[in-house]
Structure 1
Amino acid sequence: MKKIVEFFKTKNILFKKLDFFDLKEIGIKKRYKICTGVDIKNRYTIIFYIDRKSRLLQKDILSIIEILNKTILQNSHNYKNRFLITSAPICSKALKLLENENFKVYNASL
């Protein structure tokens, strides 16, 4: 988590509270790392961190959106800031899908 906090510190985004979210709570067995938290401006934030070498395709993004919707239902609030940090290349259709869902995508390996 320290690497994620330092990464966002370089982007001038600071958090009051940041916790890892366990995907097993909502019945998902993916290898994604998800952080949820509140930034200094009291906006709820969700961060997806995916570390893999293969390209992120549209079906991968659809599963991320499904996970997002399940966390919204479980926590009963929407996320103003949505971030995806990945070291993998992203398909152009998948990138458009992320933009439609208001994700900010960063290509970095932490």
Structure 2
Amino acid sequence: MKNLTNYFLEKKDIIFKDLNEVLPKELNSRKKIGIFSGTSVNKEYVAVFIYDAKSRFIRKNVDDLEEMFKALVEYKGHNFKKKFLLISSPLCSKAKKSLEENKWSVDIDFIKH
């Protein structure tokens, strides 16, 4: 968690007032992904998804991610101003385009939490 907060402070200039992990099981998912819900000091709700895999992040993964994001919105009961995807694997060009269209901020250099 400390790595994550430091990462956002250094790279995105976001300071979290509160940051909580949400287990995929709570969103009725069996995916192995880190999910965090937080509030910045600017009172913006932030969703962070950490995907750590060796295989390429493809278009199908974007659909799964969007479903999990919708489940998170429903679970937490509010919309998120910002949504981030931190991945350690290569990103497919079609997946990148789809993420940009859905207003995701993607960082590929993130190391496992």
Cα offsets for 1:14-49 (capped at 9, x unmatched): 100001011111211100001100011101000011
Which residue number corresponds to residue 4 of structure 2? Answer: 4
Which residue number corresponds to residue 79 of structure 1? Answer: 80
CA–CA distance in structure 2, aligned partners of residues 109 and 71 of structure 1: 22
Cα offsets for 1:41-93 (capped at 9, x unmatched): 10100001111111000001110000001111122211111001011111111
Structure 2: tracts of 5 or more residues without a match: none
The answer to whether 1:43 aligns with 2:44 is yes
CA–CA distance in structure 2, aligned partners of residues 13 and 71 of structure 1: 21
Which residue number corresponds to residue 53 of structure 1? Answer: 54
User: Aligned partner of 1:4: which letter?
Assistant: L
User: Aligned partner of 1:10: which letter?
Assistant: E
TM-score (ref. length: structure 2): 0.93
CA–CA distance in structure 1, aligned partners of residues 70 and 81 of structure 2: 13
SS of equivalent to 2:35: strand
> Number of matched residues?
110
User: Aligned partner of 2:62: which letter?
Assistant: I
User: Aligned partner of 1:55: which letter?
Assistant: R
